[in-house]
Structures are given as structure tokens and as C-alpha cells.
Amino acid sequence: MKVFVTGGAGYVGSHCVRELCDAGHEVVVFDNLVNGGHKEAVDTRAKLVVGDLADTALLDTTLGGGFEAVMHFASHLNVGESVSEPLEYYRNNIVNSVSLLQLMHKHAIKKIVFSSTCATYGEPERCPITEDLPQDPINPYGRTKLAIEWALRDSAAAWGLGSTALRYFNASGASADATIGEDRTPEYHLVPLVLQVALGQRDVIKIFGEDYPTPDGSCVRDYIHVEDLADVHRIALETQPPAEFRYYNVGTGNGVSVKELIDMAREVTGHEIPAVPTERREGDPPELYADPTKIMTEFGWKPKYMDIKETVRTAWEWHRTHPEGYASE
């Protein structure tokens, strides 16, 4: 299958590109190489087109190359930034995605796997989160992702688009061979931030809130390994039925608190990793962890990385061997 991958030079996208290439698919990556995109992360078996989704002329020309499917990762994803810069999130995440869908329709490309998020649930009424819970996002990031889910759903009815929205939780870890991993400036994901402290690149790790209604007062999240995410994206693409919108939670089902994750990183790295409590961060729900029963049952899939220690270990190998990210090579 010939697959067009937006954001395929980014963290999750690059792992999915490798997975697709390993499975024998022909892959073209479309990435503007900002906000965490790196040409060095793109598998050498894939073709890289450097471009922005806002460049509709280039996007149109590229999509005219006989593609059968799309994987869409290109979006802004910083929750805090979405609160302070909401219009930029609406422009990039919604307007550009709609442009992509319009051009897919023009070129008769009728399969897409969409990188969605558990943030569409907002503050869920219970955890673990099942797909039947109401989607009521509490920040612009989650609202923009939900808007595209609706666009996909409506496109299935209107022109036969087959799509899968994967609502994944906290993507973490790195490739097992430590050759691709997370490299973003500025960084805002917890696992790499903690490991940067272990490397001496930061003095402390901040804990945003200690008064949440959780066992140790810190936020609880579900950390899904990036290679497990890549596996799920491939399966979703290969099994996508026509004219149907599907949606799944992708996580381990295990909730891990911020304090627990920091302790695990101390154990894995052998470093002290000083932590400093600070005020809550706007837009952060107390708990977000998945019930992945639906995707496990329908896809016959189970995460390989169920132990958070192993996920942190793969991330540590990447950061330890690439202290300056891809610039280390």
C-alpha cells in the first residue's frame, strides 16, 4: 500500500513510518521539520517531502501521486500552549486537517488513520476510560482533536471515507535499538524532562500539583510505548473498512502517577533526579488512563511494553546515547 504520512519525521510519526516500511508498505513523509520533526528520524526506505500542510499547492501536488491511504500526525500538541495560544491550535490542527481531507477527497484517497487523544474526554467521570464515555474536552488541544474526529465521522457518511481515530494516552519510550526517539525543543513531555534532569541538562523536575484527588496527590497518566502505538497504527490501516469511522483508546490500562514515574526514572538511571512541587497547570485532569479492551478485542492486539520500567529504560537508552537528540549523530 502507498501511504502518505503527515508529521512522519516527528516522534510518534517516525516510529510508525519504520513500522510501515518493515511491513512492506511504500511510504512518503510530509513534514515541515519544526516542532520535533527531524529528517534524521525518517526511515531511509521512505521518501521525505519537506512541506507544511498550510501549503495547499504543494500538498495537492504531492497527494496526486497515487496514494491509497494517509496517516495524519501533523498537529500541535502542547496542552498548556493551547490554552495560551488557542487560535494557533485551531488554525493548525483544524484548518490544516480539513484542507488535507478536502484534497484526499479530490484525489480519491479513502483511508486515513488519525492521531487523536484521550484529551477529548476532558475530565472523565470515571477511570479507566472506555470509549462510551462523553467527550467533553477542557482545553483547546482536546477540542481541536475532537473537531477532526467529527469531520472524519461526517466524511464517512458524505463521501465514503474510511477512518480510524486512535485516542492514545501518553506516548513514551524509544525504539528498542535506541536509534530513534523523542527530540523536541522546547520539551514538555514528562519522561524526557525527567531524563534530562538525570543527564544534568536540567536542575530539577517540576511536579505540577500535589493536591489532586489521587493516591499520592500528583496526576495519574497512562504511558503507552511508542512502538506499541506504531504497531496499532499499522493494524488500523491494514484493517480499515470503507466508509466507516472507527475510534479506539490506545493505552496500557495502567495508571502511573507523576511521583511514581520519577521514582522509576531514578531506579532506571541511577541518578537522584531532584523534584520540586509547584502549582497546578491549567488544563490538567487529575487522572487519565485507558480501558483498552475494545482495541485489544477487535485488533487482537496487546501492548508489548506493559511495565513502565521497560518503557522508561528504552527512553533512557535513547537520551543517554543521544544527549543532544539527533544533533548528537
Question: For residue 282, what is the domain's CATH number?
Answer: 3.90.25.10
CA atoms within 13 A on the CB side of 245: 15
141 and 211 share one domain:
no
Residues 258 and 143 in one domain: no
Is 130 within 8 Å of 291 (Cβ atoms)?
A: yes
> Within 10 A of 61 (CB to CB), how many other CB atoms are there?
13
| Domain membership flag for residue 178 | no
* Sequence-ordered list of residues with C-beta below 8 angstroms from that of 185, at least 6 positions apart, any chain: 36
Q: Which amino acid is at 111?
A: K
**Within this chain, do residues 238 and 310 fall inside the same structural domain, yes or no?**
no
Question: Distances from the Cα of 273 to the Cαs of 65, 110, 160, 295, in angstroms?
Answer: 49, 48, 51, 36
**3-state class (DSSP) for residue 171:** strand
Q: Would 265 be classed as within a structural domain? A: yes
Of 11, 89, 121, 141, which one is the catalytic site residue? 141
Residues of the chain above pLDDT 90, percent: 94
Candidate from 60-74, 148-162, 215-229, 278-292 with smallest mean pLDDT: 278-292
**245 and 163 share a domain?**
yes
Hey, which residues does 233 pair with through a beta bridge? none
d(C-alpha 309, C-alpha 31), whole Å: 32
Determine the average pLDDT of the residues in 67-84.
93
The amino acid at 12 = V
The H-or-E segment that residue 125 falls in is none
On whether both 271 and 281 belong to a single domain, the answer is yes
Domain that holds residue 32: 2-172+223-250
In the listed set 232, 250, 268, which residue is the last one of a domain according to the structure? 250
Same domain, 35 and 58: yes
pTM: 0.96
Cell of 79: 496542552
* pLDDT for res 188: 87
Residues 84 and 98 both lie in one domain: yes
Q: Is the pLDDT of residue 329 over 80?
A: no
CATH of the domain at 165: 3.40.50.720
Counting the structural domains of the chain, the total is 2
Residue range 111-161, pLDDT digits in tens: 999 999 999 999 899 999 999 999 999 999 999 999 999 999 999 999 999
Calculate the average pLDDT of the chain: 96
**Mean pLDDT within 46-68:** 98
| 120 assigned to some structural domain | yes
For residues 117 and 137, state if they share a domain: yes
Q: Are 305 and 173 in contact (CB under 8 A)?
A: yes
Is 11 tagged catalytic? no
Residues 89 and 100 both lie in one domain: yes
- What is residue 52's three-state secondary structure? coil
pLDDT value, residue 17: 98
